[in-house]
Every structure is written in structure tokens, then in C-alpha cells.
Amino acid sequence: MNQEKNLTEIKEILIKRGNELLNEKKVDLVRFTDNIESDKLMNDFENTPHAYVLACVMDRQIKAERAWQIPYRISTLIGSFKFSDLQKLSLDKLKEYFNNNSLHRFNETMAENFYETIQLIHKKYDGDAVNIWKDNPKSATIVRRFLEFKGIGIKIATMATNILARDFKIPMQDHLCIDISPDVQVRRVFWRIGFIDKDSNNDELIYCARELYPGYPGIFDLSAWEIGRNWCRPKNPQCEKCYLNNNCQKNLE
């Protein structure tokens, strides 16, 4: 079997797995961290959908596990995470919380971004973050809306939109603008199976996924990540257990 045929087959296998994940029933609790109370706050789109947006804003230059718990840690400090209570927080008070509790690596900046996020949700979305993604918008609309929050770049905006589509099953008109997230596991798997070169940059990875599946480039996110986490480890990959074994180029060190 030639190389091109192998790559086409791998692409189809990964798309099939991505669609399976997309079409799975929504789980009761989407997990972001090891802290169940924090994840409950993040999943409660009825009462605290702003927690999800604030966690995305915090997800910068620190481990995701730590960033995604910041809304919960603030909630324990003020005893509530109701939007009306967050609105009462001054920027100085938020800076105090961030600095005194070392919530982030960049406490001053992230306190400001946290504050600005609350102001924008109030001003533009009537205090209800669900308005960012409700009423079946285009994926481009959701990505653009996330980009309006201070501190959110294209990587987090597309990741946030992908989690809404895939895990929270939020209806959208299309998935065209949901790119793959250039995660370390995804990059390793894409290189080993032969989609990209070892020294390809993030843009090449993103465009490779767009080329492979323009209708939903982010479809590869979780399927490739799962393979990277389960079998395609940096050292001693367990190819005999991996379902791409028959087609993979196995570009190993």
C-alpha cells in the first residue's frame, strides 16, 4: 500500500473517531481539572456560564489545570460566583485576591483581564455569557466573540469554541472556523503518522488540518490527542495497541 493511500486512510479513521466524539451524548460533567467542585462551576451554564469564559481568559502561560480553577478559587474567596456579585468587585479588590493568593503567574494583568471580562459580559451580553453562543450562530461568530475578550488569542478562542461544540453539544451553523489546537500530543501524533515534518511550526499544523478537513479542522483535536496520551508516548510508543498501527509511517526518533 503506498504512502498516499495510507495517509488518506489515517485521515478517514481520525475523522470517523472525531465524529464519534462529536456525536456522543453529552456527559453529565465535562472535566477540565481534578477538582470536581471547580468543574461543576464550569459546567453550570444555567447559573454561571461566565465561569467558562473567565477560565478561558485565565488559560495563558500557566498550566491549564491551574488556570481553569481560578474562577472556583475566586468563588471561594467571595463566597459566590453569581454574576451580580462579581460585578460588585472593584479592580483593586481583584488585584488583591490575585496577588495575595498567587492565582496566576501574571497576577496584575490577569486581575485586569478578569475584571474586563466581567464588564464586557455585562455590557455586550446582558450579564449572561450564554448569549455568546446561543441561537445557533456560525462558528466564526463564536470565535470572533471570544477574541473580543482581553487576553484571548486565536488559539484559546478556537479551543473554547471547539469545547462548546464537541463537549457541551452547543448547536452551531457550521464548524468551519474551529481550528486544531497545536497541543504537544497532537503535534507528535501528526508528525509520527506522516502529516507534518518534525520541525513544522504551529501554523503549518493548523493549515495541514484545514487542508485535510476544511469543514471542521478541529475534528482532529481530540482523536489525535487521545492517541498521543494513550499510546503514542514520547518514548516507547505502544504501536501494537494503537488503531493507526497498520497505516502509520511511525516517524520515531
Residues forming the site for ligand SF4 (CB under 6 A):
189, 192-193, 227, 231-232, 237, 239, 242, 244-245, 248, 250
140 or 239: whose CB is closer to ligand SF4?
239
Cβ at position 252, least distance to ligand SF4 in Å: 6
96 or 226: whose CB is closer to ligand SF4?
226
Containing 216, the helix (H) or strand (E) segment is: none
4 or 46: whose CB is closer to ligand SF4?
4
| Grid cell digits, residue 84 | 451580580
53 or 224: whose CB is closer to ligand SF4?
224
83 or 225: whose CB is closer to ligand SF4?
225
Cβ at position 243, least distance to ligand SF4 in Å: 8
- Number of other residues whose CB lies within 10 A of the CB of residue 71: 24
Cβ at position 65, least distance to ligand SF4 in Å: 25
Which residue type sits at 124? Answer: K
Helices and strands: H and E segment counts in the chain: 13, 0
105-114: long-range contacts, CB 8 A cutoff, minimum separation 24: 105/61, 105/62, 106/60, 106/61, 109/151, 110/57, 110/58, 110/60, 110/70, 110/151, 112/150, 113/57, 113/58, 113/149, 113/150, 113/151, 114/54, 114/57, 114/58, 114/70, 114/74
Cβ at position 40, least distance to ligand SF4 in Å: 34
For residue 235, give the 3-state DSSP assignment.
coil
Cβ at position 203, least distance to ligand SF4 in Å: 22
164 or 180: whose CB is closer to ligand SF4?
180
Closest CA to 186 of 36, 4, 14: 14
Cβ at position 15, least distance to ligand SF4 in Å: 15
Cβ at position 235, least distance to ligand SF4 in Å: 12
Closest CA to 8 of 249, 252, 177: 249
Closest CA to 85 of 111, 47, 53, 45: 47
19 or 245: whose CB is closer to ligand SF4?
245
